[in-house]
Structure 1
């Protein structure tokens, strides 16, 4: 991964408020009903060996290891050809189980949580190997089959002007195809790198970062390919194996499972609906839609040119069931069950999974010992519990993704100066900032103006009474007049506070800088900021330190002081 800064980093565990009650109930084992839906729990040491025994007993129900390894070799040879990755693939060929997690192919890896997921996959694989005494391979599943371009096409950068800058790639066509099948012009990739170059401050690591991005752009024709090159560069030496969910070679291995999903589609639909009803009966909301009549499969349908580009392509279309046939939402596509089965046998690359069938396909393709999931993913996986059983499968061990908040030296210094914790910044930042400004208010601006409003009201009430005594209708006019005067006093109060705050503009910039670094745009750092910001400052050292963090089977959130 190139040169890096020698960092002495401290790790501090912290518990943030729960954003997903269902996931929290599973992770912290507060609801036995939810835990029963999953079957295994990562905190139980015996469950790791039990799951491994189940995998070995059902090895013939999955894609053959040699066929899987052949597809992985081809993909990783191009994007991730490190010796460690090659060794991992050979272990898969020999029958080794895997720890897998996945994410969209975001621009330059997308937000930091993608890095955190890769770190968790690698750490969990080491843990699982220790627990079972067997080699366990880390695998990253690139969700290149997704078509939500607006979620994948951008990166947020903290610029050298201390602003949050969004750099995005426009979709070259209006067609709803997958990210992997959306072809991008090299000029568009180079233009994005140029914007990043302008946004980032100059550091000793910037030339290497920009150089790598340019090199990968020259070798990429899609966002998925650019993403894969980046992930291979960052984690290939750790033995992380990459796969693309929309890789044609992988799709050809998935045909038999697509056939089973079509043959037993009504049973699967009932299973998803049953799990949804169960989760709701336990008092939890649903994280994913479970619709009656949904086939829970997508089909790539060749379409004529959809815009001025003149390019035709394959649109990703969700399938529904109507009168015994499979149709799209608009009713412009209609196929029989037999036609779909023939396609699954002959052209499985026409198919794509949705959020509910992807877990089943993942377990068919890979020998999944455990899967790394975020809290939202854990919540929607509960909806697949009955589907796994319906297909004669067993849900793997669910491993909660570890997460981190990276705090640079400047932010740490100012947090200490103002007595702020991460919870303060995340939950009550504006309140704490306002409190600090009030503490600097030796003039008691609010108190003085509120007293003025009170005394004015006392003086003005007799005047309103006098006007009303002269003519009854004057009372209403008097009240309106009083309100206008009070509003004007309030206006002067606000302007006075603004003028007072300007005396502390440098301090306010320091406070706002903390929020930008830790909780940008009112969201967790890991869900917004791109990894390039930290590579530009620290080289690869910060990733190396994350990889050294102790593995927590039940997930954790740690503050990392850089």
Structure 2
């Protein structure tokens, strides 16, 4: 199997904070980024774990996880891992929203990384097990109610419908009979590959978005005993209640600490991933109508507003005592809530999560006493055999395909031109450029304004020369139409609709077409001897 390793910066739209974080291994001792993270991403000290103020009750935790694992149809290996957790093993955690049909490819890469990190720690004598935290309490249905699959010449995005949804947590939404149409279309696009049987058994009309996702991800990684958690239930909220209590009782101090951290990030030249406003809090509340609403509060006030409803701190604490599942953390508090429940050694995150973890240290320090290290997930692009054949035919590297089909087809056509034509165009272009530079220099020496005008006129001539190149390439494209088809195929598969493959296309797409055991391959390559972006032939 071919493996290529690229710097992570080959990917577009990465924050400067994330890029600096991934370069911590070679960063200077006084690099500003160091102060915002608990550890370097490639420092193995995380394996020794942490001991904070709040320690999980292992028997209560494992009993709750075991009950869920039974409902999710988890493998015997998962139950073995649960007993390891009961007997003192620590955990490597990752998580993701409960996307339709298993969500994007990056979801599989997160799970694979957590599994591999837990394996490595265990091999070094520190028992660890992998846990996948499902973000079931989010209420933005649009973020999870879609899945993108490749059709022959395009990306098709499938949606289901949830008439009952208002603003309640999405994990509880029942799929209903309407999921059948989604499955039928997915089976067609996936050519009825064996993985569609797992889709069918997971995404039944009786399942919720959470239970279906859990069954699917647990099934994909059944061999490795991945533990899946839906922490929206009363049992888990009772375990994490001290975190929410602190967010209510110490609201002013925690808000001030996060605001100060955001100022520190800005002073170091970084931006905050999660915006914090003057009335922001760290909590959501589920109202009597079942809708989940962000709590707002002015500094020093005892009024906590959720839409038009107003609560006092005392009322929120009473809800926390009687119905803890109604109080939930926001994005900034969720990792702290998670690590009060689980004996976490490290969290596996993507670029956005790693960026917002820089804001969390004050919350960890105030509530748990010690921050949790965050490690980068495996990042990769998967290349099927037919696409690799086309890439090799045209000597196209992965980096070359991170463009539009038009741009790549122009490049292929320019390469395909007869040698004589390429020489004539190159010779004319080089001669023109050389002559123009001499004229520009001579005219600039006589007068700066004259030189400026000459530069403008010369650029127009260079533009026309480039136009000649494009005309020749377009003629070649018309003559050899397969070049455009090949360019479209490569960009569609490797850079679909201008997006990074792992962020857009569904993981199930690659489980369907891979000629290797994809789950095992991802796990085996998730130790990250390549610290950047990997390209795999599957």
- Give TM-score, length-normalised by structure 1: 0.81
Q: Which moved more, 1:272-281 or 1:536-545?
A: 536-545
1:241 aligns with 2:219: no
Contact 1:271 1:390 in 2 (8 A): no
Asked if 2 retains the 8 angstrom alpha-carbon contact of 1:143 and 1:244, the reply is yes
Of the candidates 154, 165, 173, which is equivalent to residue 163 of structure 1?
A: 154
Q: Deviations along 1:344-379, whole A, 9 cap, x unmatched?
A: 111101011111000110110111101101111111
Q: Please list the CA deviations of residues 257-291 of structure 1 after superposition, one character each: whole Å capped at 9, or x if unmatched.
A: 21122111111111110111111100011211111
Q: Does 1:383 align with 2:359?
A: yes
Residue 90 of structure 2 corresponds to residue 97 of structure 1? yes
Query: Which structure has the larger Rg over C-alpha atoms?
Result: 1
Distance between the aligned counterparts of 1:273 and 1:44, measured in 2?
29
Contact 1:80 1:236 (C-alpha < 8 Å) held by counterparts: no
Q: Does 1:111 align with 2:87?
A: no
Residues 409, 561 of structure 1: 8 Å contact kept: yes
CA distance in 2, matches of 1:358, 1:327: 19
* Number of the residue aligned with 2:38: 39
Q: Is 1:433 equivalent to 2:409 in the alignment?
A: yes
- Is 1:210 matched up with 2:193? no
Hey, what does 1:193 align to over in structure 2? 183
2:167/2:291 contact within 8 Å kept: yes
What is the alpha-carbon distance in structure 1 between the residues aligned to residue 517 and residue 87 of structure 2? 33
In the aligned structure 2, how far is the partner of 1:540 from the partner of 1:501?
35
**Which aligned pairs between 1:503-522 and structure 2 lie closer than 5 A?**
503-522=479-498
- How far residue 211 of structure 1 moved from its aligned partner, in angstroms, is 2.6
TM-score (norm 2): 0.85
The answer as to whether partners of 1:403 and 1:558 remain within 8 angstroms in 2 is yes
| 1:321 maps onto 2:321 in alignment | no
Question: Residue in 1 aligned with 2:117?
Answer: 124
Give structure 2 stretches of 5+ with no counterpart.
426-466
What SS class does the counterpart of residue 124 from structure 1 fall into?
helix
Equivalent residue, structure 2, for 1:541: 517
| Cα drift, residue 37 of structure 1 | 2.2
TM-align CA RMSD: 2.8
Contact 2:413 2:473 in 1 (8 A): no
Q: How many residues align?
A: 490
Task: Return the match for 2:21 from 14, 20, 26.
Answer: 26
Task: Work out the CA distance in 2 between the residues paired with 1:553 and 1:300.
Answer: 44
Q: Is the 8 A contact 1:41 1:47 kept in 2?
A: no
CA 290–262 in structure 1, closer or farther in 2 if over 3 Å, else same: same
For the 8 Å contact 1:107–1:223, the answer to whether it is kept is: yes
Q: CA deviation at 1:540?
A: 6.4
What SS class does the counterpart of residue 166 from structure 1 fall into?
strand
Tell whether the 8 Å contact from 1:124 to 1:553 is kept in structure 2 after alignment: no
Preserved contact between residue 129 and residue 135 of structure 1 (Cα < 8 Å):
yes
**Structure 1 residues 555 and 69: CA distance shift in structure 2, 3 A:** farther
Measure, in 2, the Cα distance between the counterparts of 1:244 and 1:142.
6
Give the secondary structure class of the aligned counterpart of 1:383.
coil
CA contact 1:96–1:137 (8 Å) conserved in 2: yes
- Tell me how far 1:439 sits from its aligned partner: 4.6
Inter-CA distance 47–537: structure 2 relative to 1 (3 Å threshold): closer
Moved more, 38-47 or 97-106: 38-47
Give the SS at the match of 1:261: helix
Residue 407 of structure 1 is matched in structure 2 by 383
Deviation at 1:33? 2.8
Consecutive unaligned residues in structure 1, runs of 5 or more: 1-8, 304-313, 448-490
2:262–2:272 contact (8 Å) kept in structure 1: yes
- In the alignment, the residues of structure 1 paired with residue 411 and residue 515 of structure 2 have an alpha-carbon distance, to the nearest angstrom, of 38
Distance 1:496 1:439, change over 3 A: closer
CA distance in 1: counterparts of 2:196 and 2:42, whole angstroms = 41
Match of 2:168? Answer: 177
Distance 1:220 1:251, change over 3 A: farther
CA contact (8 A) 1:374 1:400 kept: yes
- For residues 292-320 of structure 1, the C-alpha deviation after alignment (integer angstroms, 9 at most, x for no partner) is 221121111132xxxxxxxxxx1110001
Contact 1:401 1:555 in 2 (8 A): no
Instruction: Tell me what 2:143 maps to.
Output: 151
1:168 CA displacement = 1.0
Deviation at 1:538, TM superposition (A): 3.0
| Alignment correspondent of 1:469 | none
